[in-house]
Amino acid sequence: MEHYDGDVDYMQQEDDWDRDLLLDPAWEKQQRKTFTAWCNSHLRKAGTQIENIEEDFRDGLKLMLLLEVISGERLAKPERGKMRVHKISNVNKALDFIASKGVKLVSIGAEEIVDGNAKMTLGMIWTIILRFAIQDISVEETSAKEGLLLWCQRKTAPYKNVNIQNFHISWKDGLGFCALIHRHRPELIDYGKLRKDDPMTNLNTAFDVAEKYLDIPKMLDAEDIISTLRPDEKAVMTYVSCYYHAFSGKQKAETAANRICKVLAVNQENEQLMEDYEKLASDLLEWIRRTIPWLENRLPENTMQAMQQKLEDFRDYRRLHKPPKVQEKCQLEINFNTLQTKLRLSNRPAFMPSEGKMVSDINNAWGNLEGAEKGYEEWLLNEIRRLERLDHLAEKFRQKAAIHEAWTDGKEDMLQKRDYETASLSEIKALLKKHEAFESDLAAHQDRVEQIAAIAQELNELDYYDSPSVNARCQRICDQWDALGALTQKRSEALQRTEKLLETIDQLYLEFAKRAAPFNNWMEGAMEDLQDTFIVHTIEEIQGLSTAHEQFKATLPEADKERQAILGIHNEIAKIVQTYHVNMAGTNPYTTINPQEINTKWDKVRQLVPQRDQALIEEHARQQNNERLRRQFANQANVIGPWIQTKMEEIGRISIEMHGTLEDQLTHLRQYEKSIVNYKPKIDQLEGDHQLIQEALIFDNKHTNYTMEHIRVGWEQLLTTIARTINEIENQILTRDAKGISQEQLNEFRASFNHFDRKRTGIMDAEDFKTCLISMGYNLGENEFSRIMTVVDPNRMGIVTFQAFIDFMSREAADTDTADQVMASFKVLAGDKNYILADELRRELPPDQAEYCIARMAPYTGPDGVPGALDYMSFSTALYGESDL
């Protein structure tokens, strides 16, 4: 196999072409269709196409044509011969051309393409697609596969439900193909009507539109993509690359037009930015001039309401009026910098604003504004602080009192609830934790109550005008605080008492659950085992099941004691509930098992035990009968099997040994055949025993290694072997009589054949036969030996039988004196004449040989026009043919 090296190893670069993946029928089918369609999309430019991708490229002609079409270059002149060497030469020219393009082909040789290797052919086509359809794709400094993927992502980014991350599962719903078409030709597809949950419609729509309007052939099947868990990446990438090439030309034209429009737009934008800067600068400076006098006004107000209005006006200024101006100032600087940058990049002169409207002038005016603003804000805050001091303490009292009253709202009702009387243990524990949290919260609020009392005292000392209402509210808060403390202590004692009682019951519940669960599982497992349908094939297996069942029955008394103990726990729980009048909120929280269920399953187990006993007894009897049938079959098979093997070995020895004449061997073999046929009743009897075993569904027999199939095959081979051996002896007799071979010669032939039959199989392979000929003095070259093999092995099986060996050796011996024998025979029959008549042949030759010669005399006419007469040349031609003499 030839290997092609180049600058780029596409097989390693992509890390995609894994030969093992081509064993996946779904992927191979997709690649065949896609690669065939891609090749035809280029071959049809040359007026041809392919039907079968691995067959049509075998002679290399269409492969070279494909490379010429896609590259635009001329390849070396192809070979037009039909022989394998011509095809390999053409494919090598194509592979050399691919390698010349910097492609490194690993493990792809011309012989594999010529032999129609589907995996190698698909790999070669994929390499061509990578080099000529995908390598040159370049998008934002990425190329080949990454560039094509980035192009797809950029083109489909605005479309919902489209997320292209790869070249397999990202395309299964068909929306990716539809989005590419709609992005470039929106009039071809109504994308808004497509649904992600209808991939079949999406895929077929994209494939049909691409074929009809974009001249992109159908390279994929919607059914294959949907039914395949992971569509073939190479097939999808090949098809998507056709979209890229279909739209890239249009995109280049649009890019050139956009570049011209962009230059004009930049100039217009720069002029507009200049006008906008002048206007915005004028407006901003005028606003600063009007605002500074307002901020410098320091006339105080006599009332808190008036000062708060001034503060609100200032806040409106900060919140509503100033932020837009801050944005305008920032935008002004941004526009100025942007304009200068654009002018510099366009090689245009820098922009110079009107006098007094420079960015520095605006920054100076803005600094004066912020100075006035800071002074005005400090003055407002100091005035408001002075007026607020009088109302501060009263407002603080109202706030703290309102917070405390909101917290205590509903607390007395909560503490007086008797919800613990019907609660479960987990609920009691939750109530206790909740009550502990409340006690902590109550202690934390003590500080707030003290603060409220202190603030009320301070307001009284300062003669606050609303002191009476403050004192009354403070007294209500203190009285309610004392009541909450008493109710809290009472509820805590009740919860703790109930918890201890429920914990006792919970422990009993838990003990019941711990013992009931394994006992219940044991009973369910016992019922399942007792009802399980057993399948056994030997008497030992049924005996094992019976022993296990007896062991199980021995555990029943102990199991009954455990049941009584579990029921006793449940009775103790009922006694506690009745004695202490506990209001149980539900059933056992640790298990769903109840005493009634335990008693029911126990009764079921006791019912199933005797049923299992009876089933085991019946199966034991059946297995005893099966064992009898096994032994009966094995006793006969163990005799018949070795007998057949022995007979086969004896026949083999007879076929290669030389005892007596061929007629004696034939007589002996026919007697041997009769004795074998007389053994048939024993085979039939064994068939009957096998039928009984099959009816009893017996699948194995440890008493013998012989199966009925082994016996049948051995019997048939025995009959076939004896018949074939008899036929070989008969053919040897015919050969001996026809060729005039003596018994001694036959013995010599057999001795030579047996000597070189090293495997003792009755046949020689080609190497053994060649060694035999060399030992007999033949000077063999390769051509001469090939000619001899075509004579002795016309079926080209690579073996030589003894019959073929005899034919060859007798022919070789006969050819040396054929001409002399012909002349001597002619003189004896013709006498003084120079021709022979038919009657003379009948008189001198045996009847069968005479008629044979007469039949061959029919086409010839003797000298002097005598019909049915033969001269010497006609006689020799009639007997041996023109090619033999």
% of the chain exceeding 70 in pLDDT: 86
Give 365 or 139, the one with higher predicted confidence: 365
pTM assigned to the model: 0.34
Structure tokens at 151: 């192009």
Please compute the mean of the pLDDT values over residues 346-369 and round it to a whole number: 83
Report which of residues 853 and 489 the model is more confident about: 489
Distances (CA, A) of 427 to 46, 192, 400, 432: 88, 57, 34, 9
pLDDT, tens digit, for every residue of 777-813? 777 778 888 888 888 888 888 888 777 777 777 766 6
pLDDT at residue number 849:
63
What residues pair up with 426 in beta bridges, in sequence order? Answer: none
Retrieve residue 436's tokens: 């502990």
Instruction: Tell me what the mean pLDDT of segment 685-706 comes to.
Output: 84
Looking at residues 56-74, what average pLDDT do you find?
88
Nearest partner of 129 among 141, 145, 118, 142, judged by Cα? 145
Average pLDDT for 6-30: 51
Mean pLDDT of the region 128-147:
79
Q: How far apart are CA 88 and CA 65, in angstroms?
A: 15
Helix (H, G, I), strand (E, B) or coil at 816: coil
In this structure, is the dihedral angle defined by the CA atoms of residues 363, 364, 369 and 372, taken in order, positive or negative?
positive
Share of the chain above pLDDT 90, in %: 7
Strand partners, 800: 764
> Dihedral of CA 595/596/597/602: which sign?
positive
Rounded Cα–Cα distance for residues 129 and 42 (Å): 11
pLDDT at 606 (0 to 100)? 85
Count of CA atoms in the C-beta half-sphere (13 A) of 727: 7
Report the amino acid identity of residue 136.
D
State both tokens at 840: 């003379």
pLDDT tens digits for 589-598? 888 888 888 8
* Distance in angstroms (rounded) separating the CA atoms of residues 358 and 353: 6
Q: How far apart are CA 391 and CA 384, in angstroms?
A: 12
The per-residue pLDDT for range 652-677, each reduced to its tens digit, is 777 666 567 778 878 888 888 888 88
Quote the DSSP letter at residue 863: G
Of 2-16, 28-42, 425-439, the least confident = 2-16
- Judged against a pLDDT cut of 80, whether residue 193 lies above it is answered with yes
Binned at pLDDT 50, 70 and 90, residue 166 comes out as very high
In the chain, what is the greatest distance between 2 CA atoms, to the nearest angstrom?
A: 183
Alpha-carbon span 467 to 461, nearest angstrom:
10
Mean pLDDT throughout 232-258? 77
Question: How high is the pLDDT of residue 162?
Answer: 92
User: What's the residue count for the chain?
Assistant: 885
First CA to last CA distance, the chain: 48
pLDDT at residue 387 in the model: 65
Residue-level pLDDT at 159: 92
What's the whole-number mean pLDDT along residues 696-700?
A: 80
Per the model's pLDDT, the better-predicted residue between 530 and 595 turns out to be 595
Q: Is residue 391 scored above 80 in pLDDT?
A: no
pLDDT, greater one: 285 or 851: 285
Find tokens 């649904």 and name the residue: 195
Name the helix (H) or strand (E) containing 839: helix 838-844
Alpha-carbon torsion, ordered 509, 515, 518, 522, to 10 deg: -120
Q: What is the pLDDT of residue 726?
A: 84
Mean pLDDT, residues 458-462: 75
Q: Which of 481, 495, 504, 499 is nearest to 437 (CA)?
A: 495
